[in-house]
Amino acid sequence: MPDTGQDRPTLGDSLAARGISRRSLLKYAGYLAGLMALPPMASRAMAEALAGAGRQSVIWLSFQECTGCVESLTRSFSPTIEDMIFNLISLDYSETLMAASGTAAEEARLAAMEANKGKFILVVDGSVSTRDDGIYSTNAGKTNLAVLKETAAEAAAVISVGTCAAFGGIPAARPNPTGAVPVSEIVTDKPVVNISGCPPIPDAIAGTIAYFITFGKLPELDHLNRPRAFFGDSIHDRCYRRPYYDKGLFAKSFDDEGARNGWCLYEVGCKGPVTYNACATLKWNGGVSFPIQSGHGCLGCSEPGFWDQGGFYKPLSASVMGNNAVLGGAAAAGLVAGAASVAMARRRRAAAMAAASKPGETK
Ligand code: FSX
């Protein structure tokens, strides 16, 4: 018999039954409030709201994707996130994680939809095949397109997890044989939040769901419907290598002296100036590192146009500036400002070197 979500205890009761104390919940709420830059008072309100809430029903559909998004959440290396997210929600359907299969799995989805009509959160990872009525990606004999329409019709809100669901991503890359589109092109009558990234940061997924449970609404979003708390700054804005950029100190290849000194990776293709995400602050693997810290430029995986935008190893000024119609206005403006800043830093540095090399002059 599928779990319909009826007569479930409050979250506070079920956490207590698992030996999770109120103090731990408060700590978790404080962590989430901090992540989302909420005022200090919000963490107590969050903890109280979470303790009194029922476990939020979540239906998770996976379409055209690589399963990296689910891996990101379940292998997040953060016991806080992985334990708490699955305590906060009742994951009523997930092809990847549920034990049931076949008819029983389909029944679980339909039962959860019926029991939580208008209240459940629909999470989708992967893009939606639309060519030839979506026959290139099916599950349980139904196209992803049909299942998305059917399930979204009863959802309170939709969260598109990963760049494939948010913007089309790799499945939509040229020549896009399946006619892949983002979820927001199909679901147009419900709020659709995009948590982009290939894969997305687990804290951004968990934080957005926890915010919805606590406040009964979605967090503030940017112009691409991404939560501002996680996508409000560019990677470049928060990058620890930024001081080198400002001084005009750049690695020219991955094995030169600049690279060994940890200088800015702009000239070897880093897309940090036009990529909005929290990688530079939240990082990955429990805050251990992120691509730039490991010596590789940002690929821009959380922006529209990833993967076709390409140019991964070309400087932005060479790879994207001539094609900035694809970029959003803010990203293009950031890039122009970034290029101007690089040029200015170079001029300053050249002037300083020229002055330093003039004999008989002191600084
Ligand atoms: Fe896409 Fe996610 Fe990249 Fe993979 O579900 S955003 S290919 S990490 O798995 O959808």
Please state the domain extents for the chain. 11-231, 235-356
Whether CATH 3.40.50.970 fits 11-231: no
How far does the centroid of ligand 1 lie from the alpha carbon of residue 250, in Å?
A: 31
pLDDT at position 356, please? 42
- Distance, CA of 287 to CA of 102 (rounded, Å): 38
**What are the beta bridge partners of residue 273?**
none
Rounded Cα distance, 154 and 200, in Å = 25
> Taking the CB of residue 176, how many other CB atoms lie within 10 A of it?
16
How far is ligand 1, taken at its centre, from the CA of residue 266, in Å? 25
Phi-psi label, residue 303: left if phi above 0, alpha if psi -120 to 50, beta otherwise: beta
pLDDT tens digit at each of 363 positions of the chain = 444 444 567 777 777 777 777 787 788 788 778 878 888 788 888 888 878 877 889 999 999 999 999 988 887 665 565 666 667 788 899 988 899 999 999 999 999 999 999 999 999 999 999 999 999 999 999 999 999 999 999 999 999 999 999 999 999 999 999 999 999 999 999 999 999 999 999 889 888 988 888 888 899 999 999 999 999 999 999 999 999 999 999 999 999 999 999 999 999 999 999 999 999 999 988 789 999 999 999 999 999 999 999 999 999 987 653 343 334 444 444 454 555 544 554 454 444 444 444 433 333
Structure confidence at residue 82 (pLDDT): 60
- Residues 43, 30 contacting (CB under 8 angstroms): yes
Angstrom distance (rounded) from CA 222 to CA 237 = 16
Mutation pick for ligand 1 pocket among 74, 159, 163, 196 (CB with most ligand atoms within 8 Å): 163
pTM of the complete model: 0.84
Mention the CATH class of domain 235-356.
few secondary structures
Distance (Å, rounded) from C-alpha 51 to C-alpha 46? Answer: 8
**What is the per-residue pLDDT for 155?**
97
- pLDDT score of 42: 82
> From atom 3 of ligand 1, which residue's Cα is the shortest distance away?
198
Question: Sign of torsion, CA 10 13 18 24?
Answer: positive
Q: Distance from the CA of 130 to the center of ligand 1, in angstroms? A: 18
Q: How far is the CA of 42 from the centre of ligand 1 (A)?
A: 32
Measured between alpha carbons, how far is 282 from 35 in angstroms, rounded to an integer? 8
Which of 63, 69, 127, 299 has most ligand 1 atoms within 8 Å of its beta carbon, as the pocket-test mutant? 69
The predicted structure's pLDDT at residue 45? 84
Q: What is the pLDDT of residue 84?
A: 63
Residue found under tokens 């001084």? 247
Supply the pLDDT for residue 81: 57
> What are the φ and ψ backbone dihedral angles of 221, each rounded to 5 degrees?
-115, 160
How far does the centroid of ligand 1 lie from the alpha carbon of residue 302, in Å?
11
Kindly report the number of other CB atoms within 10 A of residue 86's CB atom: 16
Ligand 1-lining residues (CB < 6 angstroms): 65-69, 125-126, 162-164, 169-170, 198-199
**Cα 336 to averaged position of ligand 1 atoms, centre (Å):** 30
Q: Do residues 53 and 62 make contact, with C-beta atoms less than 8 angstroms apart?
A: no
Q: What is the CA radius of gyration of the chain?
A: 23
Question: Cβ(250)–Cβ(316) under 8 Å?
Answer: no
Please give the pLDDT value at position 79. Answer: 54
Contact predicate 107/141, CB 8 Å:
no
